[in-house]
Amino acid sequence: MPQKKLDMYWDVGSTNTYFALKLIKPILIRNDAELVLHPFNLGYVFRNNNYELMKEPKAKLRNRKQDLMRWAKKYDLPFAIPRQFPIKSSRVLRGSLVMRRFGLELPFVEKIMDRYWEQGDASISEYSGIRSTVIELGIDPDEFEILSSSDEIGDELAKSTDQGVERGVFGVPMIVIGDQLFWGKDRMEFIEDELKLCQN
């Protein structure tokens, strides 16, 4: 079992979370480290801070898109900007907590992220759209939806988000190692340096 652990706060609506999940894999292998996922309701946090991404200056939004495509090209990833953006992410976030109970959290998150950020499949914002991925992973989709819609899972998501805020998380992806926070997809060198310093 990997001795080193790093926490990642994520949201399916985050472009940089897509890239971070891809780029961190070789780092985990090289450092015998385990990735621990924490769903983070970014929309909720944005609303509480009166922030709206799409109201940023148009020049900044254009540059952001160009920069994302540079990253996709550099790392040979089939990333594409979805036509429908942003989307409601709470059902995916809830679903990840359900899939955690079956030991399938990471594969679920990876498949859903790929559907949205590679195939532009915005149906993943609804339980009806998530069903095919749940079935693919061998879980009963009706049971999945019932659990995802439960107050218990809703409370777990709220707790995960609140705990992230308490730890200083203000955006995603945020990777936490000990008391060190690393925001975004472009901090991988610093993350690896920090992992090398870890003894456990």
**Domain locations along the chain:** 4-197
Task: List the structure tokens of 39.
Answer: 């769903």
pLDDT at 35: 97
Q: Spell 113-152 as b/e; 16+ CB within 10 A means b.
A: bbbbbeeebbbbbebebbbebbeeeebeeeebbebbeeee
pLDDT at 64: 87
What pLDDT is attached to residue 136? 98
Cα first-last separation, the chain = 11
pLDDT at residue 100, as a whole number: 98
CATH class of 4-197: alpha beta
Model pLDDT, residue 54: 61
pLDDT of 58 reads 83
> Do 139 and 102 touch, CB atoms closer than 8 A?
yes
Spans in the chain with pLDDT lower than 50: 200
pLDDT of 57 reads 78
Res 51: pLDDT: 53
| Nearest CA-CA partner of 4 in 30, 22, 23 | 30
Look up the pTM and report it.
0.93
Give tens-digit pLDDT for 25-60. Answer: 999 999 999 999 999 998 776 666 555 666 667 888
Asked if residues 137 and 111 have their Cβ atoms less than 8 Å apart, the reply is yes
